[in-house]
Amino acid sequence: MPSTKSRPSRPPTGPHLPHRRPPPTPTPTPTPTPTPPTSTPPPIALDPPTPLPNHLSLDRPTASTAPSPTLASTTNAPLSFVDGSAIAAIDSSFSREYMSYWQADEGSSGTATTPVVAAIKAKAEGSSIEQIQRLLGQAETAHHARSAVVYALFVPQEQTPGPAFGAVQTAAIALTRRLQTPTARDDDQLLLVMVPPMGQPIQQLVDVTRKELIQQGQLFRMAVSDPEDDQSYRSLARQIHGWLFMPLADEFDRLELDNVMYVLDAGLRNLPLAAMMDGDEFVIERYGLSLIPSVNLLETNFGASPPPPETLAAGASQFEQLNALPAVGVELEAIAAQRSAISLLFNEAFTKRNLLAAQAKKPSKILHLATHAAFNAGDVGSSYLQFWDSQLTFDQISQLGWNDLELLILSACATAISSPEAELGFSGLAAATGVESTIGSLWNVSDLGTLALMAEFYGQLNQSPLRFEALRQAQLSMLHGKTQIAGQQLQTGAGAVSLPAALNAPDAAQFVHPFYWAGFSLVGNPWW
Instruction: Tell which residue, 391, 449, 436, 440, has the closest CA to residue 415.
Output: 440
pLDDT confidence bin for 445, thresholds 50/70/90: confident
In this prediction, what percent of the chain has a pLDDT beyond 70? 73
For residue range 98-121, list pLDDT tens digits in order: 888 876 443 444 444 444 455 555
In the predicted model, is pLDDT for residue 285 greater than 80?
A: yes
Residues 502-517 have a mean pLDDT of: 95
Q: How far apart are CA 75 and CA 44, in angstroms?
A: 13
Does residue 367 contact residue 405 with C-beta atoms inside 8 Å? Answer: yes
In the predicted structure, residue 320 carries a pLDDT above the cut 80: yes
More confident residue, 366 or 12: 366
User: Is 12 in contact with 139 (CB distance < 8 Å)?
Assistant: no
Q: Show the CA angle centred on residue 411, arms to residues 406 and 416, nearest 5°.
A: 115
Residue length of the chain: 528
| Residue 279 zone, left/alpha/beta (φ > 0; ψ -120 to 50; rest) | left
Rama region for 103: left / alpha / beta (φ>0; ψ in -120 to 50; rest): left
Q: Is the pLDDT of residue 4 over 80?
A: no
Residue 375: strand, helix, or coil: coil
Q: Which residue has the higher pLDDT, 64 or 187?
A: 187
pLDDT tens, residue by residue, 373-406: 888 888 888 888 999 999 998 888 888 888 888 9
Q: Quick one: average pLDDT of 428-433?
A: 80
How confident is the model at residue 124, as a pLDDT? 55
Sign of CA dihedral 86, 89, 91, 97: negative
Backbone φ, ψ for residue 313 (5° rounding): -115, 125
Query: Per-residue pLDDT averaged across 479-493, rounded?
Result: 96
Higher pLDDT, 386 or 426: 386
* DSSP 8-state secondary structure symbol assigned to residue 10: S
Region 7-31: what's the mean pLDDT?
Answer: 42
Calculate the average pLDDT of the chain.
80
For the cut 50, the answer to whether the pLDDT of residue 37 exceeds it is no
CA–CA dist 41, 160 (Å, integer): 18
pLDDT(24) > 80: no
**Pairwise CA distance, residues 353 & 420, whole Å:** 32
| pLDDT over 90 percentage in the chain | 52
User: Is the CB of residue 194 less than 8 Å from the CB of residue 225?
Assistant: no
What lies within 8 Å, CB to CB, of 24 at 6+ separation is 253, 254
Query: How much is the pLDDT for 127?
Result: 81
Q: Is the confidence at residue 308, as pLDDT, over 50? A: yes
**Residue range 302-317: mean pLDDT, rounded:** 83
The pLDDT value given to residue 379: 80
* Mean pLDDT calculated for residue range 345-371: 95
pLDDT higher at 42 or 293:
293
**DSSP SS3 for 370:** strand
CA 329/CA 311 separation, integer angstroms: 16
Q: Which domains are present in the chain?
A: 54-297 (no CATH), 311-524 (3.40.50)
Range ranked top by mean pLDDT from 176-180, 374-378, 512-516: 512-516
Return the bridge partners of 372, or none: 412
**What does residue 152 show for φ and ψ, rounded to 5 degrees?**
-115, 105
Using CA atoms, how far apart are residues 11 and 162, in angstroms rounded to an integer? 45
Q: Where are the beta strands (DSSP E) in 40-171?
A: 147-155
Q: pLDDT at position 15, please?
A: 41
Confidence bin at 172 (pLDDT 50/70/90): low
**Burial, 130: exposed, middle or buried (Cβ in 10 Å; 0-12, 13-18, 19+)?**
exposed
Cβ distance 464 to 145 under 8 Å? no
Stronger pLDDT, 97 or 237, i.e. the higher one: 237
**Looking at the predicted structure, is the pLDDT value of residue 499 above 90?**
yes
33 confidence band (pLDDT: 50, 70, 90): very low
User: What are the residues whose beta carbons fall under 8 Å from the beta carbon of 472, sequence distance 6 or more?
Assistant: 274, 284, 288, 289
Q: What is the pLDDT of residues 145-166, one digit of tens each?
A: 999 999 999 999 865 344 444 5
The DSSP letter of residue 368 is E
